[in-house]
C-alpha cells in the first residue's frame, strides 16, 4: 500500500472575502495536487489578520502533511503572512541575506526602501522558493509552503517547490457521461457505490447542449484495476438503464 499524502490550502486576503478579487488559486492548486498524487482535503480563506492566520495555519498544519498558503507576502502593511507563519512556528523572522543580495542587484539604493526590504523578511530556518523571474520569494518551513497570491507567480512557485514534496499514488479518475437525469440513476448508482467501496463515485448534474438535464459520473481510485472494474460496472448500469424493457 502506498501512503496517502494529504494537504490543506490557506488563502489569505481581505480582497477575496469582500468579493473584490475572485480567487483563481484554489482551483489551480487543487488540480495540480491531484496530478502529483497529493490529496487536497480542505481549503480555508481568511482575512489579512495575524491572529486569524495563525489559528487557521495551526489547525491545518497539524492535520495534513502539507499546507499551502497564498497571498500576503508583498511589501505593504496588509501583507502579514510571513510574520504570522514565523509566530505559528515560534521562530524569529529577519531580512534574509541571500534575498537582500538579490534585491541589491535589482534595485537602486533609493528604491531599496523599508517596504521593499519587507519582502526579504523570511522566518528563520525556512527554505526559499525563488527563481530569476520571481521578485519576492516564497518559502517552505516545516510542512508549510508559503506562496504568492498573484496567480502567475504562485504557479511558478508551485513548479519550483513540487519536486521537493513527497507524494502518494496518484488518484486516477474517469468521467462517464450518463445521458440520464441524476434523479433517474440515483438508486442504481447508490447500490453500485456500495458494491464498489474501493472506488469513489461522484455524480455531477449539468445541462447539456440542448439544455437538457444530464449527469457526469466520475469514478476515482488509486488502483488502475479497481478503477477499470468500477468504470465497467457503471457503464453496465447505464446500458441496462438505457435498454428499453
Shorter beta-carbon distance to a second copy: residue 164 or 181: 181
Is residue 207 left, alpha or beta, with left meaning phi > 0 and alpha meaning psi from -120 to 50? beta
* Binding residue (CB under 8 A) for a second copy from 118, 121, 196, 222: 118
Does position 109 interact with a second copy (CB under 8 A)? The reply is no
Q: Which of residues 166-225 bind a second copy (CB under 8 A)?
A: 171, 173, 182-187, 189-190, 193-194, 200-205, 218, 220
C-beta separation of 130 from 138 below 8 A: yes
H-state helical runs in 36-94:
50-63, 81-89
CA R_g for the chain: 23
Shorter beta-carbon distance to a second copy: residue 184 or 198: 184
Strand pairing report for 93-95 and 121-123: antiparallel
Site string for a second copy, 53-82 (x = CB under 8 A): ---------------------xxxxxx---
Q: How far is the CB of 185 from a second copy (least distance, A)?
A: 7
Does position 33 interact with a second copy (CB under 8 A)? The reply is yes
What count of other Cβ atoms lies within 10 Å of the Cβ of residue 3? 10
Contacts of 4 by beta carbon, 8 Å cutoff, 6+ apart: 39, 168, 169, 222
| Helices 151-161/25-35 angle, 10° precision | 20
Shorter beta-carbon distance to a second copy: residue 141 or 144: 144
Q: How far is the CB of 220 from a second copy (least distance, A)?
A: 7
# residues contacting a second copy (CB under 8 A):
66
C-beta separation of 192 from 234 below 8 A: yes
Q: Segment contacting a second copy (CB under 8 A): 111-119, 126-134, 139-147, 236-244? A: 111-119
Q: Segment contacting a second copy (CB under 8 A): 27-35, 121-129, 161-169, 237-245? A: 27-35
Which grid cell is 33?
495536487
Distance CA 73, CA 156 (A): 15
Q: Which residues bind a second copy (CB under 8 A)?
A: 11, 14-23, 26-34, 39-48, 52, 74-79, 107, 111, 113-116, 118-119, 150, 171, 173, 182-187, 189-190, 193-194, 200-205, 218, 220
Amino acid at each position: 500500500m502506498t501512503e496517502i499524502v494529504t494537504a490543506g490550502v490557506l488563502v489569505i486576503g481581505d480582497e477575496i472575502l469582500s468579493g473584490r478579487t475572485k480567487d483563481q488559486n484554489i482551483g489551480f492548486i487543487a488540480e495540480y495536487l491531484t496530478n502529483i498524487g497529493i490529496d487536497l482535503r480542505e481549503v480555508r480563506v481568511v482575512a489579512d489578520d495575524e491572529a486569524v492566520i495563525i489559528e487557521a495555519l495551526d489547525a491545518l498544519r497539524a492535520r495534513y502533511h502539507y499546507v499551502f498558503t497564498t497571498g500576503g507576502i508583498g511589501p505593504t502593511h496588509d501583507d502579514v503572512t510571513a510574520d504570522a507563519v514565523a509566530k505559528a512556528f515560534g521562530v524569529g523572522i529577519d531580512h534574509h541575506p541571500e534575498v537582500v543580495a538579490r534585491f541589491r542587484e535589482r534595485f537602486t539604493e533609493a528604491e531599496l526602501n523599508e517596504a521593499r526590504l519587507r519582502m526579504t523578511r523570511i522566518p528563520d530556518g525556512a527554505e526559499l522558493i525563488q527563481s530569476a523571474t520571481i521578485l519576492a520569494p516564497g518559502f517552505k518551513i516545516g510542512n508549510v509552503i508559503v506562496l504568492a497570491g498573484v496567480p502567475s507567480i504562485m504557479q511558478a512557485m508551485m513548479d519550483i517547490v513540487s519536486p521537493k514534496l513527497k507524494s502518494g499514488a496518484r488518484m486516477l479518475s474517469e468521467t462517464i457521461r450518463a445521458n440520464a437525469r441524476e434523479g433517474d440513476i440515483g438508486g442504481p448508482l447508490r447500490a453500485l457505490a456500495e458494491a464498489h467501496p474501493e472506488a469513489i463515485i461522484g455524480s455531477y448534474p449539468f445541462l447539456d447542449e440542448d439544455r437538457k438535464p444530464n449527469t457526469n459520473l466520475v469514478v476515482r481510485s488509486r488502483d488502475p484495476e479497481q478503477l477499470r472494474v468500477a468504470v465497467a460496472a457503471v457503464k453496465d448500469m447505464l446500458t441496462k438503464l438505457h435498454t428499453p424493457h
